[in-house]
């Protein structure tokens, strides 16, 4: 006759707990392994890095990225155009046109998508500032402003002051129009070219050139 030794009740529960615990750990490790396998590897996340570096290198070769940032900063720091600050306003517009003109003469950076998308709102903002300066000129004529205008260190004759201001403003706004035309010609065959937006800028700059050139018979609806 065989006698079976009865195990304590606590031993049974301890063994069963260990069994479930080991199963849970196995399942957790498999789940963790699956999650790790599904996560993108470092090589996958850096897939576009060469393109970004290539674009940055392309922009840095000619300095157009720096010029564009300088132009944007100038737009943010635009002065309040008024009768008392006509010369300062003209100097400000000349700085903007220097930057935009140099940007429009570079054909290398037009292949960078992010840079292309930046140019349209930049030109739109510059056009808006030129319109504001044009309105200050028109106000000068309407108010018969008699403020002295310096021309290379000497005062101009009273009757010549409006004409001199108009000629200077015309020259800067004409530079804007020429720069916009060059940019349109350069970008029109590139991907994601917004023809309607650029057409509005081009036509707006042209109309502003005409308005500034012909000071007789101002029409507020033109610009």
- Summarize pLDDT for 79-128 with one digit per residue, the tens: 877 767 777 888 999 999 999 999 999 888 877 888 888 899 999 999 99
What mean pLDDT comes out for the span 43-63?
A: 45
Yes or no: say if 123 and 100 are a contact pair by the CB < 8 Å rule. yes
Q: To which H or E segment does residue 221 belong?
A: none
Asked if 64 and 115 count as a contact pair (C-beta separation under 8 A), the reply is yes
Give tens-digit pLDDT for 168-188: 889 999 999 999 999 999 999
Query: Angle formed by the axes of helices 113-143 and 195-213, to 10°?
Result: 30
For 1-28, what is each residue's pLDDT tens digit?
Answer: 444 445 455 444 445 555 545 555 555 5
- Listed in sequence order, the residues at least 6 apart from 136 whose beta carbon sits closer than 8 Å to its beta carbon are 81, 82, 83, 86, 89
User: What CA–CA distance (Å, rounded) separates 212 from 173?
Assistant: 8
Instruction: Say if CB 169 and CB 212 are below 8 A apart.
Output: yes
Domain coordinates in residue numbering, the chain: 83-213
Element housing 150 (H / E):
strand 150-151
The per-residue pLDDT for 52 is 38
Q: At what angle do helices 86-104 and 161-187 cross, to 10 degrees?
A: 20
């Amino acid at each position: 006759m065989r006698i079976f030794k009865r195990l304590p009740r606590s031993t049974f529960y301890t063994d069963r707990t260990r069994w479930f615990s080991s199963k849970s750990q196995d399942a957790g490790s498999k789940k963790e392994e699956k999650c790790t396998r599904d996560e993108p590897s470092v090589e996958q996340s850096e897939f576009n890095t060469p393109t970004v570096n290539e674009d940055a290198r392309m922009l840095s070769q000619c300095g157009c990225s720096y010029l564009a940032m300088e132009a944007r900063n100038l737009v943010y720091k635009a002065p309040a155009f008024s009768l008392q600050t006509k010369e300062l306003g003209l100097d400000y517009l000349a700085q903007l046109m220097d930057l935009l003109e140099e940007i429009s003469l570079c054909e290398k950076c037009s292949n960078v998508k992010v840079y292309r998308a930046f140019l349209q709102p930049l030109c739109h903002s510059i056009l808006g500032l030129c319109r504001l300066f044009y309105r200050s000129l028109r106000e000068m004529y309407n108010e018969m402003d008699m403020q002295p205008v310096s021309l290379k260190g000497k005062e101009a004759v009273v009757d010549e002051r409006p004409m001199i201001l108009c000629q200077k403003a015309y020259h800067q706004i004409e530079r804007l129009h020429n720069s916009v035309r060059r940019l349109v010609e350069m970008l029109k065959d590139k991907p994601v070219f917004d023809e309607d937006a650029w057409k509005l800028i081009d036509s707006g700059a042209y109309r502003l050139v005409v308005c500034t050139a012909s000071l007789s018979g101002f029409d507020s609806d033109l610009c």
